[in-house]
Structures are given as structure tokens and as C-alpha cells.
Amino acid sequence: MTKPIIAIPADIRVLDGASWHAAQQQYIQAALNVAGLMVVIVPAMGDGYDLDAILDRVDGVLVSGSASNVHPSLYGMPATEADGPFDPARDATSLPLIRRAIDRAIPLLAICRGIQELNVALGGSLASEIHEQPGIWDHRKPVTPERDAMYVIRQSVFVKEGSCIARYIGAGEVQVNSLHRQAIAKTAPRLQVEATAEDGTIEAVSVIDAKAFALGVQWHPEYWAETDEASRKLFAAFGNAVRDYAAGKAPAIPAARKQSAL
């Protein structure tokens, strides 16, 4: 059976003076090996793309993390150099893609920068340098060159009883690898808080009026999806939602059959 296909919005990366449209392998690998999905990377072309034409051809959307931050102007705040780095081309692509996927009931999983994009896309705002706020724990990544140590599972989040995400990973305390310096400030009206850290930082949300799987997490389930139970369950649930969506789509009619039917 052909695997369903999901879209991942690309980041812009500059190498040797040239711009590249890129996505990290860890997200693609988790989608393929754990969720059982194929991936296409959507170039960060903003208004230059017909997003509905893309969504017509895929069965889900995965919005990944990134080193860049959503530009503060998109949630009504002034931008400073300290708020960066920014990737306006990704913003212009991923935010409308998120809104259209939700409107069309296409399964959506948003991770790290992705949960922040989800919140901004639906009318919420973000807080920067949260470790400087009284009572907030330092959620930034450990200072180490080793990626396994950087993404180590080291933090508790508390999943609310009866929440959407609790169906997949269970309610109560869950250990995760959450590393970030920004977080949700004002929650978008269409979002429900699903999980928080011990200091109250929002770590997971769901779209209240979504007609399909639509979750965002601040942590990184993609990194340990093949070995950590909670991470695997979340990606497996996303994969199942994408397969259900693909199974319910009207089958495409090949061009040759269209012509013969005329």
C-alpha cells in the first residue's frame, strides 16, 4: 500500500551565499520510520505558492522546529535584534498553510517553532527570553556540541486529564525534551492548553474547533520517536490520523481514464 504524504514547510538557510529551502532530517526520519509517512518539503515561497494546490496533494502537515523565531510584527510587537534570528519567508508560508490545513480538516502536528506558529496563526502572541521572567525555569538547550545531550529528555510536563493529547500519551506527568527561549504568551482563542511545565509554561495545545487531528507541542518528540514511548505514541497517532484522512479522500482519476470517460 502506498504511504500517505505529508508536507513540511521549509526553512531558508544560506550556504556560500546561496539560499536553500531545507528541513531537518530528524523530522523526516520520525515521519517515515515511526508514523509511516512520506514527506514533501514545501519551499518557503510565501505568496508565490498556491497553498490549496499543495494541500490537494498531501494528507497531512507537519510544522517543524527551527533555529529561527516568528517575527514579532506578526503578533503586534516591535522586533529587536535580540528576538531573532528571523525567517520571514517561512513565516509567510507556514502561517497561512496552518490556517488552511485546519480549515480543510487536514491532520496537523506542530513542533517547537511550529506550536508558536500555530498560536500566532490563530491570533495568539509569544513571549521571548522567558528564562528572564520571575519563577520561570531555564528551558534553553544545554550548552553542548553533542546533539543527544542537547535533546536529552530532562523535563516534566503535566498533561491535563481529558485533553486531546492525553488520548495518545496519557494524562499526568510525562518526561520530555523541551528546549526553547520563547513560549506562548497569550493563547489564541481557538487553542486549548493541553499540557504545561512545572513553572506554568505552555507545552502543548490543541485546536478547539478542529475537525481533524490538530496538536502542537513545545518539546521535540521527533528526536527520540524511535526509542521513547511518549514520543513514539504521538507520532504514531499523527500517522494514524493522516492514514484515516487519506482513506477518506476521493480517489484521483488518472488522466487517461478521464479522457476515456468523455
Catalytic residues, by residue number, are 112, 220, 222
| CA dist list (Å): 155 to 12, 151, 159, 164, 258 | 30, 11, 13, 21, 55
Reported as type and span, the H/E element at residue 40 is strand 38-42
Question: Do 176 and 237 touch, CB atoms closer than 8 A?
Answer: no
- CB atoms closer than 10 angstroms to residue 160: 16
Name the grid cell of 1: 500500500
Question: Do 206 and 164 touch, CB atoms closer than 8 A?
Answer: yes
Alpha helices in the chain (DSSP H): 25-33, 51-55, 88-103, 113-121, 147-150, 166-169, 229-248, 255-261
Question: Do 222 and 115 touch, CB atoms closer than 8 A?
Answer: no
| Residues making up the chain, counted from first to last | 262
